[in-house]
Structure 1
Amino acid sequence: MQVFETPASPEESVIALLMQAGRRLRTRHPEDEVDPSCFPLAKRLMCGDAMRVSDLAGQVQLDTSTVSRQIKQLEYKGFLERTSDPDDGRASLVRLTDHGRATMEAAFRRRRERIKAALDPWSERDRAQLQKLLTRLAADLRVANDLDAQAVDTSSESQLR
């Protein structure tokens, strides 16, 4: 049994709980053929046409090198394919294969079923409240992250002067 410290503040408690929930959501289902770390890429690729790796990295807010490694993993397994960018022959576009799309749809279905099973005992009101509060938290974190990025940009500019 693991023993954890009692969080010293509500903020620390939220961080600990979100990290715990995140670990549970990233736990690989026995039938998953893809590492859950690749899910954001696959989810984004399921929403549209082929795209450049750099554009995909920007859309999922990950470093291009991280996305490139994940792309190689998906490509190796036959879930993704590369084609030449018709606008720039030096660049390539990536897209899910039919097999990749079917595999990812099944993985996302299993993930939804896991959440549904966890929330089934909850009242409709509790589920709605959870969704409302998580939506609000995500939006507020996005604003806080943007403010942090602006502060870093401003600090970097002042150091260059």
Structure 2
Amino acid sequence: MSHGSAPEVLDLERELSVLLRRARASSGEMARAVHPDLEPSAYGIMLRLDEAGALRATELAGYFGVGKGTMSRQLSALEALGLLVRTPDPADGRAFLVDLTTEGRERFARVRQARRERYLRKLADWERSDIAELARLLHRLNTPEDAESQS
């Protein structure tokens, strides 16, 4: 089904552009709140590790749709700041798992709580069902096309 330049698609493009620009700025603020030398992309990595636990770098790269080299560089920066640790993968001695250090988890938790409070204020007048629907639709939009074809 082709939508071409339907007004709805143009509206979506505009709103996503604003959302993504604001999200980049917000991620930069959140990352600097965790550590002044942290890159904006690190906040998303920390969020994923906080929720999923220890993962291989290749799993993180796949999740975010970035190359192994990019992910390796970002993980090295987190490790150098003492926010991430690498441990041998018990399932494969040649591979490593990455996870947040205790300090990384504590710093991230403080900043994440502040971000959640900001969301709560922003969404205070929204119906819970609308928030749930927005989350569902964003998840659908964030699902890679190849994963959609498998469901």
TM-score normalized by the length of structure 1: 0.69
Q: 2:33 aligns with which of 23, 31, 34?
A: 31
CA drift of 1:54 comes to 1.0
Residues 26 and 110 from structure 1, CA distance in 2 versus in 1: closer, same or farther, beyond 3 angstroms?
Answer: farther
Match for residue 50 of structure 2? 46
What letter is aligned with 2:139? A
SS at match of 1:78: coil
> CA separation in 2, counterparts of 1:71 and 1:94?
8
> CA separation in 1, counterparts of 2:64 and 2:95?
19
CA drift of 1:67 comes to 1.5
TM-score normalized by the length of structure 2: 0.72
Q: How many residues align?
A: 140
Match for residue 97 of structure 2? 93
CA drift of 1:58 comes to 2.5
What letter is aligned with 2:132? Q
Indicate the structure (1 or 2) with the bigger Cα radius of gyration.
1
CA contact (8 A) 1:44 1:60 kept: no
Match for residue 21 of structure 1? 19
Q: 1:3-55: CA deviations, max 9, x gaps?
A: xxxx9722122122122122223323363423331223212212344322112
> CA separation in 1, counterparts of 2:129 and 2:44?
24
SS at match of 1:83: strand
Match for residue 115 of structure 1? 119
Q: 1:86-134: CA deviations, max 9, x gaps?
A: 44443222111000001111221222122222223x24x3x53243144
Match for residue 137 of structure 2? 136
After the TM superposition, which residues 2-17 of structure 1 pair with which residues of structure 2 at under 5 Å, given as runs? 9-17=7-15
What letter is aligned with 1:112? R
Residues 60 and 110 from structure 1, CA distance in 2 versus in 1: closer, same or farther, beyond 3 angstroms?
Answer: same
SS at match of 2:12: helix
> CA separation in 2, counterparts of 1:77 and 1:24?
26
The percent of aligned pairs where both chains have the same amino acid is 33
> CA separation in 1, counterparts of 2:131 and 2:52?
29
Unmatched runs of 5 consecutive residues or more in structure 2: none
Please report the RMSD computed on the Cα atoms of aligned residues, expressed in angstroms: 3.0
> CA separation in 1, counterparts of 2:95 and 2:109?
28
